[in-house]
Structure 1
Amino acid sequence: MKTEHNPNIDELLVKSMLDEASVAEQIEIKQWLLDDDDNQRYFEHFELIWNESKRFARTSTVDENAAWERFKARTTAKERETEVLPMYPKPVFRILRMVAMVLMTAGVGWLSYIFATRSSSDEMLTISSGMQTLTDTLPDGSVVTLNRKSSISFPQDFKGKTRDVRLIGEAFFDVKPDKSKPFLISVNDVTVKVVGTSFNVKDNAEKTEVIVETGIVEVATDTQKVRITPREEATVLKASSKMRKGITADEFHNYYRTRRLFCDGTPLWRLVEILNEAYEADIVIGNERLRNLPINTTFDQNSLESILGVVSETLSLKVEQHGDQIVLK
């Protein structure tokens, strides 16, 4: 598990739970989650016990030792009830003890004050897709579809003048119209603003990309702002923080929702790029002259093997397997 290589991850997760993590720390946490599936399970376990700690703190007494023993007993019982929670005894219980002791200090700490005074409607909910895509309905009726290894956080109720959510990874939004209360998505240092439309937001280590299907979407950073309409996209490059606007070249952003890859004169290099992403494969083009060969077909819920078979026949090329790598030549 990757936590062995990041000894500060528990501290970063605590800061994230308290909404105190800086932008750089949020990026570090997000990258850690993407590095390994075990990290995602560790985070879900950590978040579950953190929330249990908050709930338990509201009814705890000043007797911290007795409270801690009761908390350990409850945690042990929870682990016996379900087998889906991974066991990380040393780091988790070290953090649990720190969290519990802080939360159980009879209301003296500011954390206890916040947890006691915050109404349930202000609590942030987080849903994560894990290794499968996930579709859910938000409190306002908007529908979100999360790609694999993505998550979204939002309040139980959208109060105030805006509907604010936070995104990690990639998601497609079908936002319920409400001109009086704009829908705002925060993803790293990019803000996406709409009142009612459908669009895709994708964030990775290199860029943040927004592609519109219907309506008008405003994409903004601290220094730049653009409006995009259907079949347009806005991309913010992380290396330079520059934003660029353009026309959507293909419909590959839909693959995780439709399971369909529509190729219309698509160059081989672009199809390989999306196949590597969609199937977590390692496909390389072994001959430079093949890169721009066009493909005109639709792959509808096909396996990777089936797709490569069609590509091989269509373009008269060979598909060779070298360990985990697939070479087209």
Structure 2
Amino acid sequence: MKQELDRPIDDLLVKSLLDEATVAEQMEINQWLSDSDDNLRYFEHFELIWQQSKELEIRSIVDENAAWKRFKDRVNFPQEKENVVSMYQKPVFNQFRVAATILLAVCTGWLAYLLVGNQLGNEQITISSGEQTLTDTLPDGSVVVLNRRSTISYPEHFTGEKRSVALTGEAFFDVTPDKTKPFIISVNDVTVRVVGTSFNVKNSIEKTEVVVETGLVEVARDTQMIKVRPKEKATASRVAGGLTKQKSQDEFYKYYRTNRLICEDTPLWRLVEILNEAYEAEIVIENERIRNLPINTTFEQKSLENIIAVISETFSITAQKDGKRIILK
């Protein structure tokens, strides 16, 4: 959680809410949001307070700078100070003063509820899949399938104007549609934003990949954002930086939830790459001439030995075992 409520990040968050943040400032905000789940929750609370303040705001001639100062005062829980008041106040001023006092009390109480009460009633839930795939249903009814050794964190209840989760590893999401509350996934330094759709997110040391199955997905990194549609894939490389988009060439991203490997003119090197990942194997193509040979078949709940036998027979090649390694030649 954000420990001090008067840090400069508050000013940046409000500038972002007002669409007045510069590119550099928005980058700083995105980095701060990706630093921790607590920061994401604080932003949701902050944004909700801002919206509540706008709804309760008294229509007056006070300028925006003064309004922002009052808002900061509310967030920072100012101590009451004795004021010297004229004995001959106008009734209108008295009414405004009472209204402002009520607004301050409401906002202060609301923030206290969010920062204290919600911590008790909206615990952060963390689910890890371990050595088996795992299916979980989120508070909004969205379904997530975690691949092995993957973790997802989310609040017990989605509050505020967003449904925010954090992911490490790989997962397939089938998101319940809600146009009023976008679903946002933070994975490494990449943000995935959707309303209602299905897609796969995979994070590794080298890169983060998002493959869309249905709907439209926005993938953002730093100041760059791209829209990804069905049968397209967005990739954020750790080395190259930035985001790229391309057609998804196969459906191997489904293997851990369907137990099927569908090969449609799939080059042998690509199938071997997925087999090494899915079975934690060490298959090596020693004969370079067979690397790009295409294979057309579907392996459904087959053992690795069975798949290697089919490959060997299909291409008339030899598969030799050398300890844990399987050498194709």
The letter for the 2-side match of 1:317 is I
Contact persistence 2:221–2:242 (CA under 8 A): no
The aligned counterpart of 1:177 is 177
Rate the CA distance shift 1:163–1:116 in 2: closer, same or farther, 3 A: closer
Supply the distance in 1 between the matched residues of 2:183 and 2:298 (Cα, whole angstroms).
Answer: 34
User: Helix, strand or coil: the match of 1:119?
Assistant: helix
Listed as ranges, the matches of 1:243-258 within 5 Å are 243-258=243-258
Deviation by residue 1:265-318 (Cα, 9 ceiling, x = unmatched) = 100000000000000000000110010011010000100000000000001010
Ranges in structure 1 where 5+ consecutive residues have no aligned partner: 1-20, 27-113
Q: Which amino acid aligns with 1:139?
A: P
Question: What is the match of residue 142 of structure 1?
Answer: 142
Q: CA deviation at 1:122?
A: 2.9
Q: Deviations over 1:37-81 (max 9, x none)?
A: xxxxxxxxxxxxxxxxxxxxxxxxxxxxxxxxxxxxxxxxxxxxx
Letter of the structure 2 residue corresponding to residue 305 of structure 1: E
Instruction: Give the counterpart letter for 1:218 in structure 2.
Output: E
- The 5 Å alignment of 1:213-228 reads 213-228=213-228
1:237 has 2:269 as partner: no
Is 2:210 aligned against 1:210? yes
Q: Distance in 2 between matches of 1:167 and 1:238?
A: 17
1:223 deviates by 2.1
1:200 aligns with 2:200: yes
Instruction: Tell me the percent identity.
Output: 62
The amino acid of 1:153's aligned partner reads: S
**Partner Cα separation in structure 2 for residue 165 and residue 178 of structure 1:** 15
- Residue 281 of structure 2 aligns to which amino acid in structure 1? A
RMSD: 2.0
Larger Rg: 2
Measured in 2, the distance between the counterparts of 1:22 and 1:305 equals: 46
Q: Counterpart amino acid of 2:234?
A: A
Paired residue total:
222
Describe the shift of the 1:121–1:131 C-alpha distance in structure 2 as closer, same or farther (beyond 3 A).
same
> Distance between the aligned counterparts of 1:170 and 1:291, measured in 2?
27
Does structure 1 conserve the Cα–Cα contact (< 8 Å) formed by 2:139 and 2:157? yes
Q: Distance in 2 between matches of 1:23 and 1:240?
A: 20
**Helix, strand or coil at the partner of 2:280:** coil
Alignment of 1:120-131 (within 5 A): 120-131=120-131
Q: What code does the residue aligned with 1:255 have?
A: Y
> Contact 2:190–2:221 (CA<8 Å) still a contact in 1?
yes
Match in the other structure for 1:272: 272
Give structure 1 regions of 4+ aligned residues with deviation exceeding 4 angstroms: 21-26, 114-118
> Does the CA-based 8 Å contact 1:121-1:155 persist in structure 2?
no
Are the counterparts in 2 of residues 136 and 145 from structure 1 also a CA contact under 8 Å?
A: yes
Offset of residue 25 of structure 1: 10
8 A Cα contact 1:175 1:197, kept in partner: yes
TM alignment of 1:55-74, pairs within 5 A: none
Q: TM-score, normalised by structure 1?
A: 0.65
State the AA in 2 paired with 1:263. Answer: C
What is the Cα deviation at residue 241 of structure 1?
1.6
2:310 aligned with 1:310, yes or no? Answer: yes
**Structure 2 residue matching 1:320: 3-state secondary structure:** strand
